[in-house]
């Protein structure tokens, strides 16, 4: 029984015994991916409805048996005593004793470790944790099952959407914590790499843009900070259908100094007003937006530090 390796963070990849598997039936692949991620045993009736919701029960059960036969053939599960697939009466699942590598399992382990911490641990625990988080992030090639859909409004597609949101949150937390540790310890090159990775996974992560600009400025790379600013501006304009006329990059230094990066080749007759995060958080709901609108009308802009 060879090693089964399943990668679901990005377009799905399945390897068995070192060979990349291809699937004649799209839903057979969907079945294997679902069983690998969910773990445990599942009723056949549930799996049939999950993948063939519009079919009559007997037709769906037949389709499920065909998918299982294809999977057993791909996984060389001719010997029932040594099988990746388990079938117990009406229950199906993957054998927990069979060798399986699953990328989201590695991410979950790192996420659980990070969540338990209220502060960065001291050495050597810190080095081990950083290595664990870096390894988990290296496995993320993109969103969960990127581009993999049954396109039939099935419960499977809804499950994929739910998983995408869940793993996006977990990967963002890992990127957030790791980059903050690196920046705080002066590991600016490493922080830059982590933040770039974060933006590759989530191009709309505003905090990652802000932090990456700050890191570039700390490294004396003003032009790189401007490039990040331009990329942020373009992404937000495209995704949110807004045009940011002016963006202020705040670089706090002991809560006093701020650096404003203005649009290249433009001289704006504006005033710059700085507001701290605690001040912004203390405003009543709706007051912050009113404050912003008021300053824009008077051609004054806020730098949030």
**Farthest-apart Cα atoms in the chain, separation:** 78
Distances (CA, A) of 171 to 5, 10, 114, 207, 239: 20, 13, 11, 14, 21
- Residue 120, pLDDT score: 75
- Residue 253, pLDDT score: 32
Q: Please count the other Cβ atoms lying within 10 Å of the Cβ belonging to residue 252.
A: 16
Residues 148/18, Cβ–Cβ less than 8 Å: no
What is the spatial distance between Cα 174 and Cα 168, in angstroms, rounded to a whole number?
A: 10
- Residue 237, pLDDT score: 82
What is the per-residue pLDDT across 126-160, written as a single tens digit (0 to 9) for each? Answer: 889 999 999 999 999 999 999 999 987 789 999 99
The mean per-residue pLDDT over the stretch 59-64 comes to: 95
Average pLDDT, the chain: 81
- Whether the predicted pLDDT of 210 surpasses 90: yes
- Whether the predicted pLDDT of 93 surpasses 90: yes
Nearest to 31, CA basis, from 82, 65, 4: 65
What is the spatial distance between Cα 226 and Cα 230, in angstroms, rounded to a whole number?
A: 6
Query: What angle is formed at CA 22 by the lines to CA 21 and CA 25, rounded to 5 degrees?
Result: 130
What is the per-residue pLDDT across 241-264, written as a single tens digit (0 to 9) for each? Answer: 654 444 433 433 333 233 433 333
């Amino acid at each position: 029984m060879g090693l089964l390796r399943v990668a679901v963070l990005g377009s799905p990849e399945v390897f068995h015994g070192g060979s990349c598997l291809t699937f004649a039936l799209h839903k057979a692949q969907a079945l294997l991916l679902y069983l690998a991620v969910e773990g445990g045993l599942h009723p056949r009736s549930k799996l049939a409805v999950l993948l063939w919701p519009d079919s009559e029960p007997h037709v769906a059960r037949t389709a499920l048996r065909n998918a299982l036969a294809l999977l057993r053939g791909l996984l060389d599960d001719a010997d029932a005593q040594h099988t990746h697939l388990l079938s117990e009466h009406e229950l199906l699942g993957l054998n927990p004793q069979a060798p399986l590598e699953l990328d989201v399992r590695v991410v979950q382990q790192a996420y659980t470790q990070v969540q338990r911490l209220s502060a960065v641990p001291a050495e050597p625990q810190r080095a081990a944790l950083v290595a664990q988080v870096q390894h988990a992030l290296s496995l993320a090639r993109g969103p969960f099952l990127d581009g993999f859909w049954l396109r039939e409004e099935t419960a499977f597609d809804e499950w994929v959407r739910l998983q995408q949101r869940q793993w996006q949150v977990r990967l963002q937390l890992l990127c957030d914590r790791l980059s903050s540790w690196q920046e705080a310890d002066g590991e600016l090159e490493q922080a830059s790499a982590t933040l770039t990775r974060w933006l590759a996974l989530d191009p709309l992560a505003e905090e990652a843009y802000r932090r990456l600009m700050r890191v570039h400025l700390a490294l004396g790379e003003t032009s790189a900070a401007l490039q990040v600013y331009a990329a942020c501006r373009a992404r937000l304009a495209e995704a949110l259908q807004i045009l940011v006329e002016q963006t202020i990059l705040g670089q706090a230094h002991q809560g006093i100094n701020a650096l404003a990066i203005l649009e290249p080749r433009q001289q704006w007759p504006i005033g710059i007003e700085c507001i701290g995060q605690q001040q912004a958080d203390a405003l009543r709901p709706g007051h912050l937006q009113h404050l912003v609108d008021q300053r824009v009308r008077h051609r004054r802009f806020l730098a949030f530090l």
